[in-house]
Structure 1
Amino acid sequence: MKFKDLTKYFEKLEQTSSRLSLIEILSELLKKTPGEEIDKISYLIQGRLAPFFVPLEIGMAEKTVAKAIAQAYGVTSDEVTRQFNSLGDMGLAAQKFAVKSKGTDITVNEIHKTLTQIAKTNGEGTVKKRQKLLSGLLSKMDPISAKHLIRIPLGNTRLGIGDPTVLDALATAKLGDKTKRKLLEGAYNKTSDLGLIAKTLWEKGLSGVEKLDVRVGSPIRSELCERLPSPEKVIEKMVEVDCQPKMDGFRIQIHKNKEEIRMFSRNLEEMTHMFPELIDASKKQIKAETAILDTEALAYNPDSEEFLPFQETTKRRRKHGIAEMAKTLPLKAFVFDILYKNGKSLIDEPLSKRMEILKETIGEDGVLIRTKNQIVKDSKTLTLLLEDAISKGLEGVVVKKLESKYEAGARNFNWVKLKRNSSGELNDTIDCVILGYITGRGKRIAFGAGALLVGLYDKKSDEFVTVSKIGTGLTDEEWREVHKRADRIRVEKRPARVNSLITPSVWIKPEIVIEVLADEITRSPIHTAGKSDSDPGYALRFPRLVSFRGFDKKAEDSTTVEELVEMYRLQGKK
């Protein structure tokens, strides 16, 4: 496929504000895509060159990209910078300078190959080499193609397409029905690789996709918890459970392949290089040639022998000074599940059997600690375990059905989190996604943002729906920081996957996840979370920001509308 034909579809996708239209446009594009390019186009739709877990990032600075544009079109980098400052989008600046260019018939494969070369270029003279390669591509672009090409190395494609939407389009294009997405979703949850799903579907059909399974080195999408209000409700619904303490740290999936250790976050990002102590511990403590472990890593103070709050743990997420920080703020990883061992996937095994295998695989506690678990059949014992966890400064407990499989990517009542004050008034936090901001007034004029429009993920419709505006809980510095982060992903109009009756001053791509505490959940006609033609939506009363969680959670992993409705019901509201 010619790259200019692909970018014509990108242009249509960027212009639409309807998710159904997104699926239709994508399906039309995918039907025309040959098998040798379907994986690459699947990645480019996501603004990437490879799956999320492959650390193949171009990450070019705006200054370098501006120089590449200048070199391609015979202007100065100052002229490019002025256009960028005026338009607020380097892609639009490139489009303006490419106005007289007719472009060539360069293919998607050729574009992908050169962009991959740019991403892998390192060593002496890296900046100039990358600049030259990008400039060479730009010289072959028509204006529309130049706009969309230049956004890729900047990580800002502005298409706003989620994984479920791509899966809907793949199902429509190849299977003739988007409702067959679930047939693809199971394989995606095991492999986390849309390109692999697409290529397998194109080359081997649905039967080939169904054969895709867990692989060491490819993260499995994490299973998530539902909520229940009390130990009594847990036992009533689940009868007999495996109870484990709930930690508040990094969710890390550890993959061992002989001496090679890789680690992935819940949002599929590779984090191996950040945690050298976990690499060493995994080599020593995991009694298996190959294994995949599900863990929660927390910062640990060796002097006081205490586990530290999440805000301290987040300091370990860094690119520089890693070895020094590992000494001053070491991590312990609590291993609570095993998903693969010695060539065999364990996700279809019952939890009780996985716990037995885990006990054999992780022996003595060290840096890796096997999470203590206890079988519970009555609410009194569960209450004592919950209170014990809280007294130790933990969030609460997680209870799991003994015979449950590991359902990758699922959130259901096989796993339930039970936290302090889960019943009565809303004392549990909610993970929201920032959808836009309202510009500041008075003192906050200097901060840029004065209030945040936040929402939740509606899994059924693959949309983000509004639940509140937040204007408290941030320091002056945090207001400046959120404005800075938001402006990096601002868009000109409401994203197609955002459903809102409120129009903020600035829309942004739904990417930043924040932890929010509120007094209670109420019904609201102006918010779209849970709203229908006949019923009002749901909203948060007196919300305030607790922390930023965007780096360890994808927007789609935020609190769902279903969870919010259940929390509202548990408040005793009618």
Structure 2
Amino acid sequence: MEYSQLVHLYENLDSTSKRLEKTYFLAEALKQADKESLPMLVLLVQGRVFPGWDESKIGIASQLMVKAISAASGTSPSAVEAEWKNSGDLGIAAERLLNKKRQRALLSSELTVAKVFDNIRSLAGIEGKGSVERKLQLIAELLSSASALEARYITKTVLEQLRVGVSSGTLRDALVWAFFPKIIGILHRCPHCSSLVPNTKSCVACRAAMAGKFSEAKEPKAIEVNSLNEADYNRISSRDILMPGDEALARGIYNHFLDSVQQAYDMSNDFAVVAEKLAASGPAGLKDTRLSVGAPIKVMLGPKVDTVGEAFKVTGRPAAVEFKYDGFRMQIHKDKGMFRVFTRRLENVTAQFPEVEGYVNKHVRGTSFILDSEAVGYDPKTLRYKPFQEISQRIKRKYDIKKLAEELPVELNVFDIMYYNRKNMISEPFKKRRELLEGIITPEKRQLVLAQQEVTSDEGEAEAFFKKSLAHGNEGIMFKNLNAPYKPGARVGYMVKYKSAMETLDLVIVGAEWGEGKRARWLSSFTLACRSGRGFLEIGRVGTGIKEKEEQGVSFEQLTKMLKPLVTSEKGRYVTVNPQVVVEVKFEEIQASPTYSSGFALRFPRLLQLRDDRSASDTTELSYIKKLYLSQRHRAGKKSDS
């Protein structure tokens, strides 16, 4: 596959904000890709060359990219920096400078997706003497063979800044459109160009007006389907067109197909693997997808609720009620001689927690398994539990690991199991998974224990358990549906969390402003954003709660060091940064505000701590902020009535 074809896809994806159009463009590209290029294409449209669970980083700084653009374009590094400052985007700067170059190198050839992918992926493994020169050579080789437009996207991919609006949901839908039978009612035949396209006002393929209705759809070669069982893709071809009896059935069949792709992704945590299976064996091939010990999966998440009654309404009665610990998630993988520990962000922290392997070997029976747990820090002298912020430094530590493990030890609280002795457990009900844990774990306090749990239908008992959890220094309690499967990466109502009254938000930093006076060398005012669909919306700025000395807590210098490599543009004193650094923020009130893109602003925000265990995709959703805003207005109304 030529790289120019992928760039054409990037341009199409970047030209629209409409999800249906993005899905169509992506599905068409997936269908046309050869089998070798397909998994690369799936990763590259996500701006990656490694799957999400792989902690490998390309690791190219902007200044090295400036040198590569300089070498490829024949301009000086200072000229590249001037163009970068003018455009605010190094990718656009590369495009403009390469566009001024009269012709490509005489010996250059058309770039392929495989060549671009292999060169960029190789960058992550280059180390040692002469590594900078070798990296520069690999990047410059690509840019010298690239068109100006290709250079823009190569630059963004190398810097890990490529964003064309492809969410996991869009990619999942596109795989269904590309490799499953086409469903009339989900797709419609354009009367002008005859393409099967989503039912939008104008055809995505030819832009002619469309006004088709399901009742008017005619597809002579379609297979009539009157029940979900008839849509069994073991009996139909991915090339078939299905004509369901009505729109509701069309949606039901489509959701069935989506679930098949989602389940395969939940197992592999890699859409490239899913795409390869679909291309090789069609939809039926997804049944062979298995959990792989050593490859982390996204953890199941629980939305917040405001009352015990609301918790029972979501999970049903009786429910398992467990302590919600003030620690950080640990996903533990063991298989014969292999042992790995991953965080909620799927970072490999095995080396940072050397004691964990000993705890697991001592207290958990089994040859191969994947466990879900919470690591809680404690004081080795008093044995009292410590809050998350005091032990979070262990996650990133690269030196003095043994010493820090002695000073800040952790206790593992195990609460779920996804795989055991060659058997996938995620489809088993939670009650059965808990029973398995109770049978294979020999608990020992301050090493490895089962999460404290009560099974109850009574709200009074749940409230008493909540108070007990708080008395132990925990955040609150979790409610879990006893019959629910383990659903990786989802907040699906199988479990919810009920916390103490003080509300905090996990927000991502998207911008900052250089300080003045004695803070002139630091970033000092930080723009915060919440999550909304595939993007982020600003909700305010924070400058309080941040210290001037690192030993006092999260400092201006620490945040500046973290954010400087993430800067994507600079205008005056204000910088825009890639949304990667997540912080926990408390506030006095949420206010409606036209100032910020979310429509809300935080009154008196204060930074509490860094959330190293959170990624940008874990930040608080706008829908939850709206819920908090409405609930505080409701409380205010009650006060004014009394």
Normalising by the smaller structure, the TM-score range is 0.7 to 0.9
Q: Distance in 1 between matches of 2:495 and 2:144?
A: 54
Q: Which one of the candidate residues 348, 352, 358 is aligned to 2:431?
A: 352
In the other structure, the counterpart of 1:431 is 506
Paired residues of 2:342 and 2:349 also in contact (CA < 8 A): yes
In the other structure, the counterpart of 1:265 is 343
Q: Which one of the candidate residues 168, 193, 197 is aligned to 1:163?
A: 168
- CA offsets per residue over residues 152-199 of structure 1, 9 Å max, x none? 332222435332232233333444558654442232223211111222
Paired residues of 2:321 and 2:477 also in contact (CA < 8 A): yes
- CA offsets per residue over residues 523-572 of structure 1, 9 Å max, x none? 6677776xxxxxxx6665544333332x3223332233444455456554
Residues 1:473 and 2:544 aligned together:
yes
Q: Which amino acid aligns with 2:441?
A: I
Paired residues of 1:229 and 1:570 also in contact (CA < 8 A): no
Residues 1:192 and 2:272 aligned together:
no
Q: Distance in 1 between matches of 2:522 and 2:20?
A: 37
In the other structure, the counterpart of 1:254 is 332
The within-5 A match list for 1:47-446 is 47-77=47-77, 79-81=79-81, 83-84=83-84, 87-99=87-99, 100=101, 101-102=103-104, 104-175=109-180, 176=182, 181-235=258-312, 238-318=316-396, 320-321=398-399, 322-365=401-444, 367-421=447-501, 427-436=502-511
Q: Distance in 1 between matches of 2:64 and 2:259?
A: 42
The size of the alignment, in residue pairs, is 547
Q: Which amino acid aligns with 1:200?
A: K
Paired residues of 2:530 and 2:620 also in contact (CA < 8 A): no
Paired residues of 1:519 and 1:542 also in contact (CA < 8 A): yes
Q: Distance in 2 between matches of 1:528 and 1:475?
A: 24
Q: Which amino acid aligns with 1:430?
A: L
Q: Which amino acid aligns with 2:504?
A: T
Pairwise CA RMSD of aligned residues?
3.4
SS at match of 1:227: coil
Paired residues of 1:398 and 1:415 also in contact (CA < 8 A): yes
Displacement of 1:255 in angstroms is 0.9
SS at match of 1:475: coil
In the other structure, the counterpart of 1:455 is 530
Paired residues of 2:26 and 2:174 also in contact (CA < 8 A): yes
Go from structure 1 to structure 2 and tell me whether the alpha carbon gap of 1:464 and 1:65 turns closer, same or farther (over 3 Å shift): closer
Q: Distance in 1 between matches of 2:349 and 2:378?
A: 18
Displacement of 1:87 in angstroms is 4.6
Residues 1:10 and 2:10 aligned together:
yes
Displacement of 1:135 in angstroms is 2.6
Q: Distance in 2 between matches of 1:242 and 1:119?
A: 44
In the other structure, the counterpart of 1:518 is 587
In the other structure, the counterpart of 1:499 is none
Q: Which structure 1 segments of 5+ residues have no match?
A: 422-426, 494-503, 530-536
TM-score by length of 2: 0.76
Q: Which amino acid aligns with 1:456?
A: R
Q: Which amino acid aligns with 2:431?
A: S
Go from structure 1 to structure 2 and tell me whether the alpha carbon gap of 1:488 and 1:387 turns closer, same or farther (over 3 Å shift): same
- CA offsets per residue over residues 399-452 of structure 1, 9 Å max, x none? 21222221222213321212112xxxxx22222344556787999887556462
Go from structure 1 to structure 2 and tell me whether the alpha carbon gap of 1:486 and 1:320 turns closer, same or farther (over 3 Å shift): closer
Go from structure 1 to structure 2 and tell me whether the alpha carbon gap of 1:247 and 1:488 turns closer, same or farther (over 3 Å shift): same
Q: Distance in 1 between matches of 2:545 and 2:27?
A: 42
Displacement of 1:302 in angstroms is 1.0
Paired residues of 1:300 and 1:306 also in contact (CA < 8 A): yes
Q: Which amino acid aligns with 1:455?
A: C
Q: Which amino acid aligns with 1:328?
A: E
Q: Distance in 1 between matches of 2:328 and 2:356?
A: 12
SS at match of 1:215: coil
In the other structure, the counterpart of 2:621 is 560
Q: Distance in 2 between matches of 1:173 and 1:539?
A: 42
Q: Distance in 1 between matches of 2:352 and 2:395?
A: 7
Q: Distance in 2 between matches of 1:133 and 1:453?
A: 36
SS at match of 2:279: helix
SS at match of 1:225: coil
Paired residues of 1:436 and 1:454 also in contact (CA < 8 A): no
Displacement of 1:335 in angstroms is 1.1
Q: Which amino acid aligns with 2:414?
A: V
SS at match of 2:37: helix
Q: Which structure 2 segments of 5+ residues have no match?
A: 187-197, 199-253, 549-554, 638-642
Paired residues of 1:474 and 1:545 also in contact (CA < 8 A): yes
- CA offsets per residue over residues 81-121 of structure 1, 9 Å max, x none? 55545554443443344332446212111222233333223
- Larger mean Cα displacement after TM superposition, 439-448 or 384-393: 439-448
Q: Distance in 2 between matches of 1:97 and 1:538?
A: 40
Go from structure 1 to structure 2 and tell me whether the alpha carbon gap of 1:72 and 1:564 turns closer, same or farther (over 3 Å shift): closer
Q: Which amino acid aligns with 2:304?
A: R
Go from structure 1 to structure 2 and tell me whether the alpha carbon gap of 1:435 and 1:264 turns closer, same or farther (over 3 Å shift): same
Q: Which has the higher contact order (CA 8 A, sep 6+)?
A: 1
- Larger mean Cα displacement after TM superposition, 445-454 or 211-220: 445-454
Q: Which amino acid aligns with 1:413?
A: G
Go from structure 1 to structure 2 and tell me whether the alpha carbon gap of 1:120 and 1:526 turns closer, same or farther (over 3 Å shift): closer
SS at match of 2:306: coil
Displacement of 1:311 in angstroms is 1.3
Paired residues of 1:240 and 1:375 also in contact (CA < 8 A): yes
Go from structure 1 to structure 2 and tell me whether the alpha carbon gap of 1:22 and 1:292 turns closer, same or farther (over 3 Å shift): same
Paired residues of 1:439 and 1:451 also in contact (CA < 8 A): no
Paired residues of 2:40 and 2:49 also in contact (CA < 8 A): yes
Q: Which amino acid aligns with 2:620?
A: T
Go from structure 1 to structure 2 and tell me whether the alpha carbon gap of 1:72 and 1:367 turns closer, same or farther (over 3 Å shift): farther
Larger Rg: 1 or 2? 2
Q: Which amino acid aligns with 2:585?
A: V
Paired residues of 1:299 and 1:307 also in contact (CA < 8 A): yes
- CA offsets per residue over residues 495-518 of structure 1, 9 Å max, x none? xxxxxxxxx976554444332323
SS at match of 2:121: helix
Q: Distance in 2 between matches of 1:485 and 1:20?
A: 36
Displacement of 1:231 in angstroms is 3.2
How much identity, in percent, do the aligned residues show?
Answer: 30
